Structure 1
Amino acid sequence: MVRLKHRYLLVNILYPSNGSVLVHAQDEEVNNFLRIHAPSPPKFDERSLVMLIRNSVSEMFGDYGVGKVSGSLKVVYFSAATSSAIIRVSREHVRLVWAALTFVTHLPKAFGTPCVIHVVRNSGTIRLAESEAIKRARDLVRRARASNQRDGLEQVLKNAVQAEERESATMSVDEELTSGDE
């Protein structure tokens, strides 16, 4: 009996021209990073992703590609919040799927959103793909928090400077009043 060997592709779906996402970071680099890593549309799910992959393989490699890939293609994990997915495909046909994902430019017509699918990791085990997905999600959260903390720190410093200016203005008025009494 022959064991079927699979590969796991960790992919991120990026939305480069999605201006509808409201990001309030003052750092332009973080702002752009968070805008590109926007959540997927609410109705875009695992089944939609499988259909997107099959259609892309069909466009690139025709019926031959779809026939080779369809038997082993499965979306093991999909998160709409982080726009990331883990896709299982047979080891022999991982290059077909990877090439097809590279040429995806839009989500299906029901969504019509321009996107770029970035293959982050090609792994032999799902455990390594999951750990990489967790690491990247933590990094995304860390960058967002760092931006918020920087914004908060800047606000605290502005408030402190304004309070000091008010206090010094009050002190100068008090000094003028006391010097006028003498």
Structure 2
Amino acid sequence: MVRFKNRWLLVELIPLPQTHTTSPVTSSISRPRTPANNNNLDGKTIWAALRQSVLTHFGDVGWGAVAPSLTIKYFSPTTSVAIIRVSREHHKIAWAALTLLSSIDGVRYIPHVVHLSGTIKHAQLAAIEHNRVVIARFRALSKSAPGTRDSYDAFLEKSGLEIEALQD
């Protein structure tokens, strides 16, 4: 019996601000990332953009190697975090195509691979910890009083349960 070994990429997709001005001073100032920036992004659009990136940079051979195992197991539009599964032999192709990805559906993103693991359990733990860090940043930007319950607490509970429920 042969076991298929996978790699799990925890990826944060950081949206870039839309710049409509030509002034270099104002274009370098960016607004902070907020949860509302990713309302139209989901796992299918990420998969399609990643597919196109693999085809563009590695051709049909690269896509033929990566395609059977490439899946988006989880995506949170609030924190822009995705968990991607790919075969162990071809994870470097997927990682490179992800790094070379510049836009998804016309919106520019910076893909940041936060964690690479060999098991889904470690990817889950890293995703939960990363969500806590991102939510702490959102709370700091909102300047809410420490210790108050807000919608972020409900999100952390819900996302933690969703991430823990993922199966290989």
Q: Scaled by the length of structure 1, what TM-score is found?
A: 0.68
Alignment of 1:97 with 2:94, yes or no, is yes
Q: 1:39 to 1:69 in 2, by over 3 A?
A: farther
Partner of 1:85: 82
The structural deviation recorded for 1:147 is 4.3
**Deviation at 1:116?**
0.9
Structure 1 range deviating more: 126-135 or 136-145: 136-145
Contact 2:79–2:135 (CA<8 Å) still a contact in 1?
Answer: no
- SS of residue matched to 1:2: coil
* Matching residue's letter, 1:145: R
Higher strand share: 2
Map 1:123-138 to 2 at 5 A.
123-138=117-132
What does residue range 52-131 of structure 1 map to in structure 2 within 5 Å? 52-108=49-105, 112-131=106-125
The residue matched to 1:82 in structure 2 has which SS? coil
SS at 2:16 equivalent: coil
Q: Where is the helix percentage greater, Structure 1 or Structure 2?
A: 1
CA contact (8 A) 1:123 1:129 kept: yes
Amino-acid identity (%): 40
Structure showing greater Rg: 1
User: How many equivalent residue pairs?
Assistant: 137
Structure 2: state its 5+ residue gaps: 20-29, 147-168
Q: How does 1:1-182 map to 2 (within 5 A)?
A: 1-18=1-18, 35-36=32-33, 38-108=35-105, 112-149=106-143
Counterpart residue type for residue 4 of structure 2: L
